[in-house]
């Protein structure tokens, strides 16, 4: 068992307490909205069925004709077509990416568009915006990133503070005292559940941080300078077709794609202009089976192809944790993320109840630390490291230090007067 330094324990408990109190409302919001968003597919499927599902009647029109039908109905020319896997599935043509994504669905039997779908039109888009930016735009994303950064600190300090004393042994990791009052009960529920999901929480946070502004941009910069992101031609960047003769039809590319027997959802990347290229790729969360092929749209010559092994290690890690964060590795992952969201909300509420029960009247009840205590070089080095990795956390620590410095200075001047 870990032999803890009592003064260090008090100091870490103080900062765990302060950071937790400030973060608590936001953490509860993030946990609840994250849990709700995991039901996105189940919620949207019945609402979109009338657009995505068609009746099979007669002969289907060609994919080339469907492409021409979809073009004028999007603000930008479609850049992707998803190959239907069932006869009663409408063909999806998509332009844009992420929140700017717009899709039209074509009924190949009636030669008509069944409807459009944009992420912004769904109720789940509001949930996602609340989860990612608190409905406050760019300012909100900074708040969420700051809270997420402090969550790393809360987890690390929480593990140290909770770690049972030597005399308690293994039982200390499971100890919940039901008969010593509600304050102790909810404290134990918070600490025990918090400890046992701490690794999962760290993994979940690692999957969410790449979406943030400051950390996310810095992470992308590291990927670029270390060449550990996607290969330059992963998305056909810089590739061009040689204009010669008649372009290959979309139907020929679909036949080629089907012959490859790729796993997951298979899409055709459509040429943007007369020099653009065709692409064939699959989207699956069995990440190791993802492949990309790029072809000259006139000759059909393969220009380049990529496997998952071609992707840099930082990008592979990033994509894995992001998929894990969204519960996309199958039922086990989805259930696990639901459990994490529920337990995070529960342990946060338990912490709040415990605090309310122990809080002195008209005081914050901040834990006291001996005045002579000074954190060691190891702790300071860890704080500096976290401040570099998570810049918003680093800035917030500097602000706290400045406020603390001037508060003590003012207090000292009052005493001298």
pLDDT of residue 21: 86
What's the confidence (pLDDT) of residue 10?
A: 86
pLDDT band at 416 (very low <50, low <70, confident <90, very high): low
Under a CB-based contact definition with an 8 Å cutoff, are residues 241 and 296 in contact? yes
Contact indicator for 164, 188 with CB cutoff of 8 Å? no
pLDDT score, position 186:
92
Band (pLDDT 50/70/90 cuts) for residue 415 is low
Stated as kind and residue range, the H or E segment containing 80 is: strand 80-82
* Bridge partners (DSSP) listed for residue 291: 307
How far is the CA of 77 from the CAs of 97, 216, 238, in angstroms?
A: 13, 29, 19
What digits encode the pLDDT tens for the residues 151-183? Answer: 999 999 999 888 887 777 788 888 899 988 888
Q: Residue 349 burial (CB < 10 Å; 0-12/13-18/19+)? A: middle
SS3 361: coil
**Mind listing the pLDDT tens digit for each residue in 45-87?**
999 999 999 999 999 999 999 999 999 999 888 999 999 999 9
Q: How far apart are CA 326 and CA 48, in angstroms?
A: 21
pLDDT at 282 over 60: yes
Q: The pTM is what?
A: 0.90
What gap in Å lies between CA 288 and CA 4, rounded to an integer? Answer: 43
Cα→Cα distances 280→52, 64, 83, 123, 195, Å: 22, 16, 10, 32, 45
Locate all alpha helices (DSSP H) within 250-330, ordered by sequence: 250-259, 313-325
């Amino acid at each position: 068992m870990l032999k803890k330094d009592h003064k260090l324990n008090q100091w870490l408990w103080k900062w765990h307490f302060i950071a937790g109190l400030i973060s608590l409302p936001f953490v509860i919001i993030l946990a609840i909205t994250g849990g709700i968003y995991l039901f996105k597919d189940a919620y949207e499927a019945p609402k979109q069925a009338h657009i995505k599902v068609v009746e099979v009647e007669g002969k289907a029109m060609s994919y080339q004709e469907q492409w021409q039908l979809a073009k004028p109905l999007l603000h930008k020319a479609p850049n992707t077509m998803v190959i239907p896997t069932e006869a009663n599935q409408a063909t999806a043509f998509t332009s844009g990416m992420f929140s700017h994504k717009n899709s039209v669905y074509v009924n190949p039997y009636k030669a008509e568009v069944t409807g459009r779908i944009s992420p912004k039109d769904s109720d789940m888009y509001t949930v996602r915006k609340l989860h990612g930016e608190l409905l406050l735009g760019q300012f909100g994303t900074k708040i969420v990133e700051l809270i997420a950064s402090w969550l790393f600190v809360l987890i690390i300090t929480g593990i140290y503070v909770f770690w049972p004393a030597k005399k308690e042994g293994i039982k200390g990791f499971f100890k919940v005292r039901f008969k010593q009052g509600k304050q102790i009960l909810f404290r134990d529920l918070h600490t025990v559940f918090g400890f046992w999901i701490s690794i999962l929480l760290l993994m979940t946070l690692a999957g969410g941080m790449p979406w943030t502004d400051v950390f996310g941009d810095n992470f992308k910069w590291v990927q670029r300078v270390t060449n550990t992101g996607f290969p330059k031609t992963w998305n056909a960047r810089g590739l061009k077709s040689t204009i010669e003769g008649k372009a290959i039809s979309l139907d020929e590319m679909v036949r080629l794609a089907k012959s490859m027997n790729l796993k997951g959802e298979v899409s055709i990347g459509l040429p943007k202009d007369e020099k653009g290229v065709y692409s064939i790729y699959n989207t699956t969360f069995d990440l190791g089976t993802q492949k990309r092929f790029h072809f000259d749209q006139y000759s059909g010559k393969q220009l380049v192809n990529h496997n998952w092994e071609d992707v840099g290690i930082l990008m592979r890690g990033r994509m894995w944790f992001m998929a894990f964060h969204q519960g996309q590795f199958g039922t086990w992952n989805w259930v696990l993320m639901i459990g994490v969201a529920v337990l995070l909300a529960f342990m946060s509420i338990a912490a709040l109840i415990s605090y309310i029960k122990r809080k002195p009247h008209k005081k914050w009840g901040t834990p006291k630390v001996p005045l002579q205590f000074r954190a060691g070089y190891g702790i300071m080095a860890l704080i500096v490291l976290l401040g570099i990795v998570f810049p918003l956390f680093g800035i917030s620590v500097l602000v706290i230090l400045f406020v603390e410095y001037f508060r003590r200075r003012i207090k000292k001047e009052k005493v001298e007067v």
